[in-house]
Structure 1
């Protein structure tokens, strides 16, 4: 569907789905589970869109966030999701909050992202994470197969995905999303989510 058909509130929901999708892909990457290429790319592609002129440029095809929307639907419906995924979601939202309150790190993050080449690799994105987010005083303890997490390529991939999740958490807040909405407005969020999934023909 054309991205122009989405309402601002639907972009807000899509941003939250981006956070959830990043967390889910981190969990899969860390444990050696299959990772959907489309879901993986959608998370990383958003990192370098801080100068985008529209939400459509940030998200691209909304259907690319099917994994995040489905996982969010499960979480709001009391269907069990991977405990680590749930933990990563909360960490990403908290790191975004800390980033908003730290002007120096926010400025440095913007500078580093602006300097990235078009063909940046996960190693480049992982370096940006280490130089900025890692200094916010709250490290994300990623659990999985120790042998995998000790591989430089996997560690860089995880950091890059976390950076993508923080990008979406920042955008979610920017669009009016708040953690308390997930508690006090849970049923409303779930209904809006189901409507968006139907609109995107993701059922």
Structure 2
């Protein structure tokens, strides 16, 4: 269950950053970095290895825990919609080999840019966003991002959001591979919350 929670924390952290960009035009690089890096690691030894330890997902763990606690004043109204859409995209993605091939090819193309540019540079984020546009955006479901119209019209903000959504889908694919199921949100809610609490108290490295 620990690995399942870490994958959900990664999705949650991506959602949080998408919301910050969409409404305020701001992104926390420290929280976004491990998510963006995960896009290029297609064969990690473990999910802990993929995100360089659970401490890098602290914000995501906190957000995920807050959503699990019923009646919590920190409940994020948009969160549930984003999470449901991302898990649906994951399901659609795993059934489309052609989309998977396009994405893998585009990621390999983008990887070459890392020889010249920082992973968080505008050019790399723009290329990652293009990976998303050329693959995930062609699936039946299209995620509608809510936010400030002025902020969302900015090309760099659009690139950041698409890059983070790609990282979220990446984490959702892992979530399913690690045994994640939607019914766990109903029947194992407390267990998920307990594991999140444990990871926050004692990070795994």
User: Structures share a fold, TM > 0.5?
Assistant: yes
Aligned to 2:3: 11
Q: Distance in 1 between matches of 2:21 and 2:175?
A: 24
What does 1:43-122 correspond to in 2, within 5 Å? 43-78=35-70, 79=72, 80-116=74-110, 117=112, 118=114, 119=117, 121-122=124-125
Q: Distance in 1 between matches of 2:192 and 2:179?
A: 13
* Superposed structure 1 runs of 4+ greater than 4 Å apart: none
Alignment match of 1:151 (pick from 145, 151, 154)? 154
Q: Distance in 2 between matches of 1:198 and 1:53?
A: 24
Structure 1, unpaired ranges of 5+: 1-8
Q: Distance in 2 between matches of 1:96 and 1:193?
A: 22
Tell me the TM-score normalized by structure 1. 0.89
Query: What is the aligned residue count?
Result: 193
Deviation of 1:90 (Å): 1.3
Deviation of 1:64 (Å): 1.1
Alignment deviations for residues 82-106 of structure 1 (CA, whole Å, 9 cap, x no partner): 2222211111111111101111111
Deviation of 1:34 (Å): 4.8
Tell me the TM-score normalized by structure 2. 0.88
Backbone CA RMSD of aligned residues: 1.7
